[in-house]
Chains A and B, each alone.
Chain A
């Protein structure tokens, strides 16, 4: 489970690419890539736990990432007291009714006599519960969304330090994963895939629509930061003096300092997670997981509870994705539900895991950095490539215009091509499982 020299070279190559961006373009861009690369690496770690360790096919990564982002808002934004007064308790009551309905339905499913009584009874409980829930919730949401809708119109958060939201984001994702896992695990792999795809869409739909919770498409902006603001640094005479004495432009230096602070925070999280993931994989638990992945029947015959272990790893992996989601929202400083797209947040992470090497944590991390770098850089590369190809054409022809305009869509094509090529010629990825 150690790194081979070849793997270390690969890491150097990827970091060299990012550093080259710093030397030739700007360190701001390079650090931006590095920070999102760190977050991508954490997402890839989460997916690698599910797919690489246990062979679970989760394509709802986007949903867990978004839930993590919601966690960042719920923890760190200041509470909106007026909104709480307008309908806070009512919302809590409605949620309690919703949970009670589901519990009652589950109990009904277990307790009621089998057959038609059971089915009709459960459906009855769900329908009655749903109407009570809506009757309680609707006036509350209307009241909350009516409170200063241009600026707040939602309940706000707890006003706690944003760093605390990272584990909370993970917990939210873990809770959702538990609910999905309970229903969909144990089904065939394609069914789990469709179920997770569906959950992700539902999470996004919820965040877009439940304005009282997440402000919906009005977005939450100005999430508190764990690091200083650029403007404060620029107004700090000692910072300006030091940077000038080192020969840097204070404005550029301030944004680089902020980015470096994020890099440090993310790096700590990544190293801790990587260490834990490696320790888990090397432990008897890790061996059991791989045994289950490679032959479920044999593992079951050895007395392993396959479904329970699958549920466990599904929750763990999703929690890691949620954590990464909270970190990303912290880095962005805003929650924009409209920007969550499955191609970017689910399938791109899958490309990272497959290209990096499924089953190997270092591979997933490497894939996270490499694919994120390519995702960012393909666009300018593609644009210059197309610019070169079309340079011979006369200006103003529709084909040239069209090609130049479409260069932005090269990245999807490239990612698909990379995925297919790796799957075909190096199916175990850059750093294969050992």
Chain B
């Protein structure tokens, strides 16, 4: 019985808690991708770098606040800097839209052209981030490190296994829930949100009923900037900030959005968790858990790790391919053009 509890705690410590945090970050990223796809109708390859840019502005603001002696006690100062980051990112994406995307929208260019254009934007944003903050790791987390450490948990419960919950992981989940609730409230209950959904469902009908497309596009970009910045900051707090990893997040984020159904916000969230849980489960070494559950004679001597952690991209990719082959519109039927 104790063994079973130990196994559950070990699993929670190494698989469930990290996967929930990672899943929330992916879900926020995928929501941004899916909104762009729903309203502007193209896959935005610059999204990973938008996240990096937002995180960068937030980090700079955090450092500024820290040098002024401002902090939030047990919470990371970055939370206070987040609105500044969102504002900075919103300005950048709005400027990008005016200078770059608007032209192609008016031309009614094919979606694939917009994708290539977003590649150019990706280069520029990537260059900007590297230019301003450099390509190296930056740590900006402060405040309490853990809600509960492994040792405290062991003393509290008397179990052999400890469960450590990083405060950043808990924070990620809480912030993600708040952001998602706000987003859904906005989409379902406000006039602007409804006009966005109408625009996404049927552009012609929306135009006919007097919805101003440029306004819808502008609001979309601002929301996307907020989502991307929040996702980027949470990821950076939980792990660390390095511009290149944000670019690499593009694949799991797109996988999440597509698995859930491109253009469907609910699907993006589900997709994020599907991808995160599979990545963490497949790359986790189950030796410890198996050790508790199996009788001693059967105890495995290998790590019982299905794939090494570097293959996590393979996992998101495999799930993506399976879903595309069997249910091309995603789990929650998205838009299929």
- A residues near B (Cβ < 8 Å) are 55, 57, 59, 130, 138, 183-184, 187-191, 193-195, 197-199, 201-202, 205-206, 208-209, 341-343, 347, 350-351, 354, 405-406, 409-417, 419-420, 423-424, 427
Contact = CB atoms under 8 A, between A and B. Distances in A.
Given A198-B316, A412-B127, A191 B251 contact: no
B116 interface: yes
Contact of A409 (B115, B127, B262): B127
A406 B115 contact: no
A190 B328 contact: no
Contacts of B116: 350, 354, 419, 423
A205 B317 contact: no
Contacts of B125: 416
B184 interface: no
Given A189-B111, A194-B255, A424-B103, A205 B313 contact: yes
Nearest to B99: A420
B279 to A, nearest CB: 13
A396 B234 CA distance: 35
B320 interface: yes
B128 A191 contact: no
A419 B119 contact: yes
B320 A416 contact: no
B2 interface: no
Contacts of B262: 190
23 contacts: A55-B112, A130-B306, A184-B321, A190-B42, A197-B250, A201-B248, A201-B313, A201-B317, A202-B311, A202-B313, A206-B311, A343-B247, A350-B119, A405-B134, A409-B130, A409-B135, A410-B127, A411-B127, A412-B127, A414-B127, A416-B122, A419-B120, A420-B117
B148 interface: no
A405 B127 CA distance: 13
B323 to A, nearest CB: 10
Contacts of B311: 202, 205-206, 209
Counting chain B residues whose Cβ lies within 8 A of the other chain, the interface size class is: 35 or more
B308 A209 contact: yes
Interface string B96-118: 00001001000000011101110
Of A138, A208, A412, A414, most buried by chain B (CB within 10 Å of CB) is A412
A198 B313 contact: yes
Contacts of B43: 190, 193-194
User: Which 10 pairs across A and B sit closest by C-beta, in order of nearness?
Assistant: A416-B123, A413-B127, A412-B127, A416-B124, A198-B317, A419-B120, A409-B130, A420-B120, A201-B313, A190-B43
Contact of B310 (A184, A208, A350): A208
Nearest to B244: A341
B70 to A, nearest CB: 22
A432 B239 CA distance: 46
B317 A202 contact: yes
B120 A416 contact: yes
B128 A413 contact: yes
Contact of B321 (A183, A342, A405, A424): A183
Interface in B207-262: 244, 247-248, 250-251, 254-255, 258, 262
A347 B117 contact: no
Contacts of B248: 201
